Structure 1
């Protein structure tokens, strides 16, 4: 995992929200110096801390970890399957129709 890139993304999102390291640290319940070390890629963080940071910054974990997540066809198909798992047949059909419509507009000749 690239902790430097993770830290940079956390810092960028914190600054977009005009939060200080102290404010983010208080919300996440860690020290401001630890936030600084995370942002510089000097310290690892627990999953719990990462979730709290993502929640406060209102970003997804996959956004923060985007250079660490391997995206391939199997991964994408599994994500789609997870989205569809608890949906009704009519909801699944509607989603497929939306995707077909989107692709037809994207790939017009």
Structure 2
């Protein structure tokens, strides 16, 4: 079983925590967890329960669904890694932007490649 979901959610929690200017210790204190547990979640070492995920979302002052608002890693058929890595780098850049910026990026890409 792949642990991509753990990596994606952990990464999203880390991103939101940093956006709020919180350390792992501060987030843990607000949510009621030890900082090492927060670190384990962010590093995809812990399989977090939904109840604990809700506590972390509350501590981050965000809705729980936001913790799942990430751009899914794309599996590319050639599995060489290089194409997949480049696509994921682009998606990572876009995932932190607002919808207006994402639409602009899509229009730029369409123009560059003359796509509909």
Q: Shorter-chain-normalised TM-score: which range?
A: 0.5 to 0.7
- CA deviation string 1:31-82 (max 9, x = no partner): 1111001001110112221111101112221121235xxxxxxxxxxxxxxx
What's 1:43 paired with?
46
2:27–2:59 CA contact under 8 A, matched in 1: yes
Aligned to 2:17: 14
Q: Which has the higher contact order (CA 8 A, sep 6+)?
A: 1
- In 2, Cα distance between equivalents of 1:66 and 1:18: 20
Structure 2: tracts of 5 or more residues without a match: 71-116
**Normalization by structure 2: what TM-score?**
0.54
**Runs (4+) off by over 6 Å:** none
What are the ranges of 5 or more consecutive residues in structure 1 without an aligned counterpart?
68-109
Structure index of larger Rg: 1
Partner of 1:66: 69
